């Protein structure tokens, strides 16, 4: 069987189920590659779905610094039986498919390499709580990937410790789940994968972030003291990032009081109205929304223009025409920052 062989140059895709806790594990894997010194470009691909429906997370790792998508997938982690057919079809010849072999499956492709890891069985044997078993499958496959791709396991342990800082009781079981996957792969999957991550220093002095997180941090450093917002995909995480960084950087050390205001409004009209009012009273205020929100804010935007009241509006645009598709992201998406 031919095997794709590459060092620090590959595309891996995770096919999961909404609400399974996979997002943090997949992001952790991306951070693990990044902290190994290899530039990565993660992409969350999730249609407008409710819990239980498909979601995907794709990562391009490239020591040459390439960020764009490329044709085909070199390594697929298939965790959703509903999307098996689609996911398997995307794998390049000689590529790899890792799936939960607690339930054996014939994928009817002889030109790819099947990597079987009984994720559910491993979790059932080690954990008693059904919810814990369900969530920890994700960390088990991260542990297996750590061995398969030669990524230093200590990097992931450090990431777990950082993620659960202040919730120390959660560190040990998460590390345990990681170790389960690593040890299984080390025992049963020697030489199963020829895609490797070799430690480098190509990310020295860099951070791994996304546009919304960068926007939220930028607001803090730009002096914003008021964020008024209404939840709408895909802009919500910008407001949440602002709140996260303010909790770290904008709390008076002596009194413990917040030196910022974070207001979730009842709708988009209220959020822009509050932002205008805050600016009118001398604060630096902003709001974040998407296409439909901008449409609803039109009259208030006109008021701010004619009254000459400055207000910052983040329009995190959606792909597609008019107000756009809710959450089906694609390469044509634009992150546009508008300032009045």
For the stretch 155-178, pLDDT in tens is 999 999 999 988 889 999 999 999
For residue 138, the domain's CATH number is 3.40.920.10
Residue 334 has pLDDT above 60, yes or no: no
Q: Note the pLDDT of residue 46.
A: 67
The whole-chain average pLDDT of the chain stands at 91
Predicted confidence at residue 265, as pLDDT, reads: 96
Name the domain boundary from 167, 196, 225.
196
Mean of pLDDT values over 45-68: 82
* pLDDT score recorded for residue 17: 87
Residue 291 or 314, more confident:
314
Residues 157 and 273 in one domain: no
Confidence of residue 234 (pLDDT cuts 50, 70, 90): confident
Pair 162, 272 in one domain: no
Q: Are residues 192 and 219 in the same domain?
A: no
205 in a structural domain: no
Give the domain range for residue 261. 211-339
What is the helix (H) or strand (E) element at residue 140, kind and residue range?
Answer: helix 130-148
Q: Residue 76 in contact with residue 97, Cβ under 8 Å?
A: yes
pLDDT value at position 48?
56
Which is nearest to 188 in space by CA: 275, 135, 119? 119
Q: What is the predicted pLDDT for the residue at 153? A: 97
Q: Which helix (H) or strand (E) holds 320?
A: none
pLDDT per residue as tens digits for the range 34-55: 999 999 999 887 665 666 678 8
Q: Which of 164, 196, 228 is the last residue of a domain?
A: 196
- The per-residue pLDDT for range 97-148, each reduced to its tens digit, is 999 999 999 999 999 999 999 999 999 999 988 888 888 999 999 999 999 9
pLDDT at 50: 64
| Residues 158 and 282 grouped into a single domain | no
Residues 9 and 61 in one domain: yes
279 compared with 50, residue with greater pLDDT: 279
Please indicate, yes or no, if residue 201 is contained in any of the structural domains: no
Q: Are 237 and 213 in contact (CB under 8 A)?
A: yes
In a domain, 182, yes or no: yes
User: CATH no. for residue 236?
Assistant: 3.40.50.970
| pLDDT score, position 155 | 97
In a domain, 206, yes or no: no
Sign of the dihedral defined by the CA atoms of residues 104, 196, 141, 93, in that order: negative
pLDDT at 20: 79
Give yes or no: residues 49 and 157 share one domain: yes
Which pLDDT belongs to residue 205? 92
Does 191 lie in the same domain as 77? Answer: yes
CA torsion sign for 213, 219, 225, 230 is negative
Does 203 fall in a domain?
no
- Domain count for the chain, please give it: 2
Same domain, 54 and 184: yes
Last residue of a domain, one of 196, 228, 260: 196
Regarding whether 77 and 102 lie in a shared domain, the answer is yes
pLDDT at 312 over 50: yes
Same domain, 30 and 178: yes
- The pLDDT value recorded for residue 339 is 42
Name the more confident of 181 and 166: 181
* Together in a domain, 97 and 226: no
Are 157 and 225 contained in the same domain? no
Q: Is residue 202 part of a domain?
A: no
Task: Tell me the mean pLDDT in the region 183-198.
Answer: 97
Mean pLDDT of the 196-208 span: 94
Per-residue pLDDT at 7: 97
Answer whether residue 1 shows pLDDT above 80: no
pLDDT at 340: 42
Query: Does 220 score more than 80 pLDDT?
Result: yes
CB 100 within 8 A of CB 137: yes
Strands 73-78 and 54-62: unpaired
Residue range 188-213: mean pLDDT, rounded: 94
Angle at the Cα of 13 from the Cα atoms of 9 and 19, rounded to 5 degrees: 145
Predicted local distance difference test score (pLDDT) of residue 330: 54
């Amino acid at each position: 069987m031919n095997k794709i062989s590459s060092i620090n140059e590959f595309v891996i895709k995770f096919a999961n189920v909404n609400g399974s806790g996979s997002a943090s594990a997949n992001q952790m894997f991306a951070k693990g590659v990044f902290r190994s010194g290899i530039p990565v470009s993660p992409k969350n691909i999730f249609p407008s779905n409710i819990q239980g429906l498909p979601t995907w997370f794709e990562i391009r790792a490239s020591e040459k610094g390439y960020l764009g998508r490329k044709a085909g997938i070199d390594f697929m982690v298939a965790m959703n039986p509903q999307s098996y057919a689609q996911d398997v079809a995307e794998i390049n010849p000689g590529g790899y498919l890792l799936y939960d072999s607690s339930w054996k499956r014939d994928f009817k492709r002889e030109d790819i390499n099947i990597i079987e890891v009984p994720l559910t069985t491993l979790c059932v044997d080690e954990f008693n709580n059904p919810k814990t078993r369900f969530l920890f499958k994700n960390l088990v496959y991260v542990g297996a990937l750590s061995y398969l791709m030669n990524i230093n396991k200590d990097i992931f342990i450090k990431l777990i410790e950082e993620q659960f800082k202040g919730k120390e009781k959660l560190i040990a079981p998460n590390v345990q789940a990681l170790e389960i996957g690593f040890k299984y792969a080390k025992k049963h999957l020697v030489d199963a994968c020829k895609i490797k991550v070799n430690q480098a220093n190509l990310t020295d002095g860099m951070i791994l972030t996304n546009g919304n997180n960068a926007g939220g941090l930028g607001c803090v450093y730009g002096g914003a003291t008021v964020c008024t917002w209404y939840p709408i995909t895909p802009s919500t995480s910008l407001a949440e990032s602002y709140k996260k960084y303010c909790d770290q950087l904008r709390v008076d050390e002596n009194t413990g009081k917040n030196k910022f205001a974070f207001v979730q409004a009842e709708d988009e009209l209220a959020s822009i109205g509050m932002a205008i009012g805050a600016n009118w009273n001398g604060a630096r205020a902003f709001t974040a929304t998407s296409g439909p929100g901008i449409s609803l804010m039109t009259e208030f935007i006109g008021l701010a223009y004619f009254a000459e009241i400055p207000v910052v509006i983040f329009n995190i645009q959606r792909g597609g025409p008019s107000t756009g598709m809710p959450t089906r992201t694609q390469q044509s998406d634009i992150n546009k920052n508008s300032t009045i």
